[in-house]
Amino acid sequence: MTIRERTEEQEFAVFSPYASFSRNSRGRDREEEPCDIRTVYQRDRDRILHSKSFRRLKQKTQVFLIPEGDHYRTRLTHTLEVAQLARTIAKALRLNEDLADAIALGHDLGHTPFGHAGERALNAVCPFGFAHFEQSVRIVELLEKKGEGLNLTWEVRDGIRNHRTSGTPHTLEGQIVRYCDKIAYINHDIDDALRAGILKEEDIPEESRMMMGDTTGERLNTLIHDVVRHSEGRNTIAMSDMMEAAMKYLRAFMFQHVYNNPAAKREEEKAVRMIQELYRYYNDYPEQMPDEYQYLMREKGEPRERVVCDYIAGMTDLYSIHVYKELFVPKSWQG
């Protein structure tokens, strides 16, 4: 018996009957020889972790565009916080921690430079539209490894595609990530807004502080415990009605005071215009894109407009600024 087979047997002995068992995965689009050490979900997690798209998350905006300071969240630190919360809940509920981890690590791979501002910019100009959750799936199915994709399992791709609020993941592990994404960003964005001076602790609604706690740690602890208590022994992941309403209220507060706050977003429209200028340029001159994107159009038959989005969405904040300067700002003006 291999180490992987022993691990799969242990899952049946330890996991909840509602867990996604590694041996029962719907599998990959391209069949592969099993690993003798790792389960399919462990392999998926490792593939995502070692991908170029994952590494680029370290220089992509979470909320604050290229903030001055080392402690603000980026898309990478957000992803790691979601993964940590998802592992905690999955383990507490005796679900498949490796599957939850893989979904969490891959859920935001498709984010553009400058966060949702970049997503909005591409969605407005691309005839096919643009959504980061669909782009995340496109990355793991096609764009990584020069057009081969990562060949992930169906369950991981389903969780990535459905992590948004309106999504309906087919596994409990995917449902966990869907909750953890919101739990993480609401709380760490509060922390960043406090650091930036956009919020003061007393600005947070009193009813939210009374129900969830006065600090980020207390709020996370309260929300995680609520999810575990109301999901244990059930074939669904849920929060209490009261706590879910409180979280939605706090999220609405964040939209009003942070996400749409002029102080936090004063540079966003510049970013939108820059991304759209890059789109128009590469749509007119697709031959200027790197070879791997030429290959997608030439050999895979991918539409030019979609591939232009692929290239721009893959850029980091700083690289997109560099490219924009190279294309549109005279060298003598670049100080």
262-298 residue pLDDT tens:
765 677 888 999 999 999 999 999 999 999 999 999 9
Query: What pLDDT is attached to residue 198?
Result: 86
Q: Which residues pair with 28 in a beta bridge?
A: 153
Q: Which residues pair with 153 in a beta bridge?
A: 28
Compute CA distances 308 → 116, 180, 286, whole Å: 18, 31, 7
Please name which of 136, 176, 181, 143 lies closest in space to residue 157, comparing C-alpha atoms. Answer: 136
Give yes or no for residue 84 having a pLDDT over 60. yes
Residue 174 in domain: no
Percent of the chain with pLDDT over 90: 79
- Residue 97 in domain: yes
- Residue 64, pLDDT score: 64
What does the mean pLDDT of the chain come to? Answer: 93
Please report the pLDDT score of residue 200 as a whole number.
87
CATH code of the domain in which 66 resides: 1.10.3210.10
> What's the confidence (pLDDT) of residue 263?
63
Q: Which pLDDT band, with edges at 50, 70 and 90, does 261 fall under?
A: confident
Q: How confident is the model at residue 327 (pLDDT cuts 50, 70, 90)?
A: very high
Residue type, 142: L
Asked whether residue 187 is domain-assigned, the answer is: no
Given pLDDT bands bounded at 50, 70 and 90, which one contains residue 260? confident
Q: Locate all alpha helices (DSSP H) within 151-265, ordered by sequence.
A: 154-161, 172-196, 206-212, 216-231, 241-254, 262-265
- Res. 70: pLDDT tops 60: no
pLDDT tens, residue by residue, 97-122: 999 999 999 999 999 999 889 999 99
Q: What domain count does the chain have?
A: 1
115 near 132, Cβ under 8 Å? Answer: no
Q: What is the pLDDT of residues 152-192, one digit of tens each?
A: 999 999 999 999 988 899 999 999 999 999 999 999 889 88
Per the domain annotation, does 89 fall within a domain? yes
Kindly state the DSSP code that residue 111 receives in the 8-state scheme.
Answer: P
pLDDT of residue 66: 59
In the predicted structure, residue 65 carries a pLDDT above the cut 90: no
pLDDT at 298: 95
Residue 201: inside a domain, yes or no?
Answer: no
Residue 287: count of CB within 10 angstroms of its CB = 8
Domain annotation covers residue 84: yes
Host domain of residue 94: 3-169+265-333
The two three-digit tokens of residue 243, written as one number: 């706590």
Half-sphere exposure of 97 (CA within 13 A, CB side): 13
49 residue type, one letter: L
Assess if residue 276 is contained within a domain. Answer: yes
Quick one: which of 60, 331, 45, 93 has its CA closest to 231? 93
Residue 68 has pLDDT above 60, yes or no: no
Residue with tokens 């022993």: 6
Q: For residues 121-129, give the mean pLDDT.
A: 97
Query: For residue 236, is it left (φ>0), alpha (ψ between -120 and 50) or beta?
Result: beta
pLDDT of residue 69: 54
Residue 196 lies in a domain: no
What pTM was estimated for this model as a whole? 0.95
